[in-house]
Amino acid sequence: MRKPRRMLIGIAAVLLVTVILGAPVFALNLTKMIEVRYRDIKIYVDGEIVVTADASGRIVEPFIYDGATYLPIRAVSEALGMTVEWDGVTNSVYIGESIPQEIKEITVSSAEEFVAALGSNRRILLQEGEYNLSTVSASYIHNPSVSLRQASDGPELVLTGIDNLHIQGVGDEQSELIIEPRYAFVLCFEDCSRINITNIKAGHTEAGDCEGGVFSFERSSGIQINDTLMYGCGTYGLQLAWVADMKVAGSSVYGCTYGAMMVSSSADIMFENCVFRDNTGLSMVEVKDSERFTIDRCEFLRNTSDWFPVPMFSFSDSENVVVKNTLFKDNVADALIEQADFEWDASNTFENNSFDSNGRQMLIAD
């Protein structure tokens, strides 16, 4: 057993953070001498020993003071699969849930005001009307996380590293975001998290080919799109790459010239109560290198995959893909799906579709 060791420590905050979290704190000036005991205390979680280190990797030993055993909260919480954050403003430790962020609410009525308002921890309320993002110059961009990137025939708006952003139309009709370049996306999100788009209509003034779409998400997570119309894009309504935890509900994708969506290297993607209609070009839904992708209670109406002999659906190198409770009506494609071993849920309904198998899996309408 080791001999007791004396420590000069601030009451509450310093004890909690310096000893337990390993972070310096200067909020309290009140100090006192305390005597603690180090007894080579070991911590086990599910039979595995826990290395008690702080955020910088420095070993922090548990100790006993006044009959209570003090454990390093970061090491123990992370061993239990939970994150730890210190809020120096309120002298609080958050385990699991992140530190609450105050959301700034901004009401806008013009494209310039919308672009100027973009940023983290924002709820942007768009009044009814049309917002032509192509008319906004770089002078209205005040946030380093927002930039204009040149596409083939004009700029597109790119949001990088933004967290907790809500874009919401507040009228009875969806507020409309449009751009003029045919080969640009309306909005591009890169390395973003907790993005919510609600009651918005978004598309192009003129459809194009080869590049550009409505919304592009890369390396992003925690995405929600609700009651939103995505239309008339150059390629896809949605293009996702390295996206996790995304749900699209009560929304529509229509009038696109390549297909409804392209999804790659993504996980936990859900479409619920959505309509995909009047799209043309290639496969309507292309999913590759992804897992846990679900389409539930949706409708596919009057879509035509006619550029080449392509299937309506392509699920390559993907796992746990589910399509259920969905209506397929008046669609035309070379085949329903490319993967012959895909098992369709019996809850789906097919009416008046034209799928020419050409050696692929074929499902003819009743």
| 333 residue type, one letter | A
Q: Could you tell me the pLDDT band of residue 52, with boundaries at 50, 70 and 90?
A: confident
How far is it, in rounded angstroms, from Cα 336 to Cα 331? Answer: 9
pLDDT score of 30 more than 90 = no
By three-state DSSP, how is residue 117 classified? Answer: helix
Fold of 104-279: Pectate Lyase C-like (2.160.20)
- Phi, psi for residue 160 in degrees, rounded to 5: -125, 130
What mean pLDDT do residues 150-178 have?
Answer: 90
Q: Which tokens is 307 given?
A: 């550029």
> What pLDDT does 16 receive?
41
By three-state DSSP, how is residue 236 classified? Answer: strand
**Which residues contact residue 355 at a Cβ distance below 8 angstroms, ignoring those fewer than 6 apart?**
312, 331, 332, 333, 334, 335, 336, 362, 363, 364
Identify which of 242, 295, 246, 240 has the alpha carbon closest to the alpha carbon of residue 268: 246
Distances (CA, A) of 219 to 141, 191, 281: 23, 5, 26
Question: 8 forms bridges with which residues in the sheet?
Answer: 33
Where are the CATH 2.160.20.10 domain residues in the chain? 104-279
Neighbours of 220 (CB within 10 A): 26
What mean pLDDT do residues 348-360 have?
Answer: 74
- At 307-333, the pLDDT tens digits run 777 888 999 899 999 999 999 999 999
The DSSP symbol for 18 reads I
Q: Could you tell me the pLDDT band of residue 128, with boundaries at 50, 70 and 90?
A: very high
CB-count exposure of residue 293 (10 Å: 0-12, 13-18, 19+): buried
What mean pLDDT do residues 116-126 have?
Answer: 95
Question: 249 forms bridges with which residues in the sheet?
Answer: 226, 272
Neighbours of 48 (CB within 10 A): 9
Q: Could you tell me the pLDDT band of residue 209, with boundaries at 50, 70 and 90?
A: low
Neighbours of 239 (CB within 10 A): 23
What mean pLDDT do residues 217-246 have?
Answer: 91
Identify which of 56, 43, 45, 40 has the alpha carbon closest to the alpha carbon of residue 79: 45
> What pLDDT does 72 receive?
80
Identify which of 272, 186, 197 has the alpha carbon closest to the alpha carbon of residue 228: 197
Q: What is the dihedral of CA 331, 337, 343, 349, to 10 degrees?
A: 0
Whether the CB-CB separation of 158 and 146 falls below 8 Å is answered with yes
Least confident residue range of 31-45, 53-67, 348-362: 348-362
More confident residue, 265 or 140: 265
How far is it, in rounded angstroms, from Cα 306 to Cα 326? Answer: 22
What mean pLDDT do residues 169-183 have?
Answer: 88
Q: Are strands 146-151 and 354-355 parallel, antiparallel or unpaired?
A: unpaired
